[in-house]
Structure 1
Amino acid sequence: MDLPSISTDATAIHSAEPSPNEKSICVIGAGPAGLAALKVIMDTPQYKAGLWKPMVFESRDKAGGVWYPALPTDEPPLTPLYDSLTTNLPHPVMAFTSYSFPPSTPLFPRASVVQKYLESYADHFHLHQHIQLSTTVIAVEYRAPKWSVWISSGETLSFDLVMVCNGHYRIPRYPNTPGIASWLNARKASHSAWYRRPHNLGDTVLVVGAGPSGQDISTEMRTAAKTVIHSFTGALPQDVGNLKRRGRVLSFGENGTVSFEDGSMESGVDYCILATGYEVSFPFLSPPNIIESIPPPVPPLPRELYNSTFNVFPLAKHLFPLQAHFPPTSLVFLGLLVRVAPLPVVEAQARAALRAFADPEALDGTQEAVDIICRYEDIRKQVGDSPLAIAKAWHRFEPHEQFDYRDQLSEFAEAGPTEDGLETSGLGKIRVHEWEREMYDHKGELRSMWVKLEERGEAEDWVRGVGEGGPHEWVDFMRRVLRKAQEEGETGVGEEGDKAKL
């Protein structure tokens, strides 16, 4: 990437003889991860002493990230938010630990409720003063000893720490299935990023993908299409009403013909929606700071930082780049994990990031490298030797792994004073509650029961006033809903991920 030289104009770079302990922090993105990072920064003694100066850059005209709706007119769309989207995590589990959803909030809220929650979070903690809206980060480059950040206003700014919080639900991931390009060119197929509602897509619609969006869209399409074919890897052929489940697509043919790995074939498909996920993307980073490629096999750890579009590698604690081009505690990546409740995770990540930023020696590079190699070996035993398969699995956590990870980050963040004599976080001890693990395990039953209560018109009565006496009421409420689900034999539906998106 060709970049202009750094301006020495005082309006471009704020460098008026700062104190040695004064540090500037750039946060890229004002979605949930960026808001959490800013809130945690503002909680620190360093910020309160005027030593840490944060600045958040948000390309859109309002904070909220993926939860802030937009028409699918951009290429690609600014958000994949479809009209009917609700969370598939109960909001007490997905909420920031520092801020609950309002009393009487539906247990699985619609996207608009989550957006209002994020706006309320920003208002409550006075975050807007440090957020610069309608400002895109064009490029980020390390020029020792600081990071140079080029923004869309034409300014070039200098920062000690860059926190990457740009989210990963923007760049569609397309399968390389034979024939799909012809369908896309003929406008017989599109990625789910463009999907908003189920109407006017034809009588027979194919939905590819078993993640949250694929589950939701295939269910919703049944209300508008005569036949819905839901295709995903490992599915066994099954027809239930107007829904046909099929295995992975092998090829897209002419005249709406599709063949599947289970040996079946369908004809007359009018339209295909590809709910096939999104690529990890950092358009503002370029070599040598990051290389877009699948990382080489390990060991040894590479000396470069890689973005495979599935994972960023190697990162200590899934946060800090272990490479040779810049200090690993000066650039951090928040929110890369999948199959987690991300809002409390990014809170814990932000606290850990600031701990290492305040005291770089706290990050034991040798031990972190060992931990990465051990994880690599564990994943390799599960998925095989393919570097691509390992990359796909790298940031995917097993259900309770996220909770252990949060506790580990919190312990790291709470360690000793910094070189300037101030405590790193000042946030006190934050530990995962047992009810979080319990309710995460039962999220399928809870959601199925909640949908049933909504269909009966009973949900509003159930939730009215819950939370007015404090957050603990939500725990009791979820247990009550779970007992009801067990009484009625609700088992929930297996899902591939969680839509508490960033």
Structure 2
Amino acid sequence: MSAPKPFKIRRIAIIGAGPSGLATAKYLLAERSFPQVDIFEQRGTIGGIWNFSPEIPSYSTLPQISPYIPVEKPQQRADGEAIFPSPMYEGLETNIPHELMKYSDLPFSIEVPLFPPYEVVKEYLEEYANDIRHLIHFSTQVLDVRPLDSRNSDEGNYHEIWRVKTRKSGTQLEDVRDYDAVVVAGGNFDVPYVPDICGLAEWNEHYPGIATHSKAYRKPDYFKGKKVIIVGNSASGLDIGNQIATACAHPLLESQRSPPSSIPSGLGTTVWKEELPEITAFLPPSDGIRAVRFANDNIETEIDAVVFCTGYLYSHPYLSSLKPSPDTPDGSRVQHVYRHIFFSPRPTLAFVGLPREVVPFQIAESQSAVIARVWSNRIPLPSKAEMDRWEIEEIASKGTVSRFHRMGYPTEADYINEMHTWCLQAIPRIEGEKLPPLWGGREKWFRAEFRAMRKAYSNRKMARHRVKRPEDLGFSYKKWKEGGEQAARSLPQEPYEKGIDP
């Protein structure tokens, strides 16, 4: 099968003005080939999930195992502002040092703590967006995206029309616009995954609000004196558990499907918590004792709160008319995507930010740089058959379909550098063109060591905010380079949860 014909793309829609959407816009503009770039953002500000709001999402139905749900309806404040609650909570700090958290062309301030709080990241994103803010349609929710046709133009180019239907958030005002290409750059943390455990649905109906997802967590005060179970031992589960433990009754119960995580557990110790296996049943509520059974047959009663830190489903309800669907029935990945970017049946649809267990901002840069060069015809895509073959081989290498987008170190470093190399193959080369990140030894050192850095940082307690550099914690790039790099490449991967962990 022959490779796709050259693209004829001039109008591009980007869905989302979070970190991925902002990077996408920058690289598309830098290509100087696309006269119209529009960014649709359902919130009233940039930043995506880095926007904190005290409002919490309401889940009337648990469990949540399907990605096939309607477009989210916003909550509305008294002043009429439409709110889309994010997973952000008070006191959240990044688990990635700012030298890797940054975009490649904008460093954080030297006064920023090594692991910045979310407020600092939000301010950083505001600064990064300054020169593209005029492209953003704020408070504009995407309702539907569908291809109208695909055809070869008179010049022999591949041309496709995408119709994008939007609504002004919180109103009934709708608009329809046509584009030559669409980038999906957000929404990976919209739909919580809550497993289908025996008795959970009945429990949730009888005890509404006791079982929640971490997306609804805001601060520990709500859990004061309560008997709490945290489900999941991923990064968010450990961090939220540490916070809740400052207020709840001890011990905090941690239900884990897999062995304890190697991710640093933050500010606490194991003195105040009890690790338990996975929950096998929520017992019938008829006796009123709010009981849960675990895999070891242990039963805990008088449970006041269960927080599922079990990740998120890949869900794109505005693409529901697309055949074949990019969403899988279990929501564990996006399918028919080449190199985690291009939708192979219609490569004028692209995704940015699908990979997990990565440093997100620089992954977004890498993918955006490739998209810009492919759609401007400076880099060719392989044939559809070859793209599909890559997907099959990638699944085989991961061992399971649900790990398709999961990278970790060193896979993520290799991916970033492969995207950089791919961009260098662009013809013609353009003097001063915007290239994506290229990781050398120092970046790999940060990535290999940042879990240990995070643990050492957390051990400083309140003094941690004075730590600006890893050297302040005793970490040495020189020593790592001399003896640690090979060992670091065999580090255990982050623990697996079915959903996506933020």
**Which structure 1 residue ranges, 5 or more long, are not aligned?**
1-19, 295-306, 383-389, 464-476, 487-491
Aligned to 1:276: 310
SS in 2 for 1:136: strand
Q: 1:368 to 1:104 in 2, by over 3 A?
A: same
Secondary structure of residue in 2 paired with 1:86 = coil
Q: Which among 117, 130, 134 is matched to residue 135 of structure 2?
A: 130
Following TM superposition, by how much is the alpha carbon of 1:435 offset from its aligned partner in structure 2, in angstroms?
1.4
Matched residue pairs, number? 427
Match of 1:218 among 214, 224, 241: 241
Q: Is 2:378 the partner of 1:378? A: no
* Aligned partner letter, 1:339: E
Number of the residue aligned with 2:295: 261
Residue 231 in structure 1 maps to residue 255 in structure 2 = yes
How far off is 1:140 after superposition? 0.6
Deviation for aligned residue 1:410: 1.6
CA contact (8 A) 1:22 1:53 kept: no
Question: Structure 2: where are the runs of 5+ without partners?
Answer: 1-6, 60-83, 150-159, 168-172, 261-268, 480-490
CA separation in 2, counterparts of 1:200 and 1:369? 48
Residue 121 of structure 2: which of 110, 114, 125 is its match? 114
2:9·2:180 contact (CA, 8 Å) conserved in 1? no
Residues 1:393 and 2:403 aligned together: yes
Match of 2:423 among 401, 408, 413: 413
1:52: Cα distance to partner? 2.9
Q: Is the 8 A contact 2:47 2:122 kept in 1?
A: yes
Q: 1:428 to 1:243 in 2, by over 3 A?
A: closer
Distance 1:251 1:480 in 2: 47
What amino acid is the match of 1:313?
Q
Mapping of residues 333-344 of structure 1, within 5 Å: 333-344=351-362
Offset of residue 257 of structure 1:
1.7
Q: Residue 405 of structure 1 aligns to which amino acid in structure 2? A: Y
Of structures 1 and 2, the one scoring higher in RCO (CA 8 A, sep 6+) is 2
In 2, the alpha carbon distance for the partners of 1:177 and 1:93 equals 38
Closer, same or farther: CA 497–350 of 1 in aligned 2, 3 Å: farther
Q: Displacement of 1:170 after TM fit?
A: 1.4
Cα separation, 2, equivalents of 1:160 and 1:83: 40
Give TM-score scaled by structure 2 length. Answer: 0.79
3-state DSSP of counterpart to 1:403: helix
2:279 aligned residue (249, 252, 256): 249
Residues 91-240 of structure 1 mapped to structure 2, 5 A cutoff: 91-123=98-130, 126-144=131-149, 145-152=160-167, 153-185=173-205, 186-187=207-208, 188-201=210-223, 202-227=225-250, 228-235=252-259, 240=270
Do 1:27 and 1:165's aligned partners in 2 also have CA atoms closer than 8 Å? yes
Q: Does 1:312 align with 2:346?
A: no
Q: Could you tell me whether the CA contact under 8 Å between 1:355 and 1:424 is conserved in 2?
A: no
| Rounded Cα–Cα distance in structure 2 between residues aligned with 1:81 and 1:222 | 18
Instruction: Report if the CA contact (8 A) 1:148-1:159 is conserved.
Output: yes
Distance in 1 (CA, whole Å) between partners of 2:259 and 2:420 is 39
Amino acid at match of 1:171: V
> Cα distance 1:429–1:313, how it changes in 2: closer, same or farther (>3 A)?
closer
What is the identity, as a one-letter code, of the residue corresponding to 2:37?
Answer: P
Q: What displacement does 1:21 show? A: 6.7
- Percent identity over the alignment is 24
Q: Secondary structure at the match of 1:449?
A: helix
The amino acid of 1:278's aligned partner reads Y
Structure 2 equivalent of residue 25 of structure 1: 12
1:120 deviation in Å? 0.9
Q: Pick closer, same or farther for the CA change 1:159–1:308 going to 2, 3 Å.
A: farther
Change beyond 3 A, Cα 1:269–1:221: same
Determine the C-alpha separation between the residues in 2 that align with 1:194 and 1:359.
44
CA distance in 2, matches of 1:169, 1:55: 22
Q: CA RMSD in A?
A: 2.9
Q: Find the partner of 1:69 among 41, 52, 60.
A: 52
1:343-384 CA deviation, whole Å, 9 max, x = no partner?
A: 1001000011111111287111244333222222223xx3xx
Q: Distance in 2 between matches of 1:279 and 1:425?
A: 39
Aligned to 1:478: 470
CA distance in 2, matches of 1:274, 1:292: 26
Q: 1:249 to 1:74 in 2, by over 3 A?
A: closer
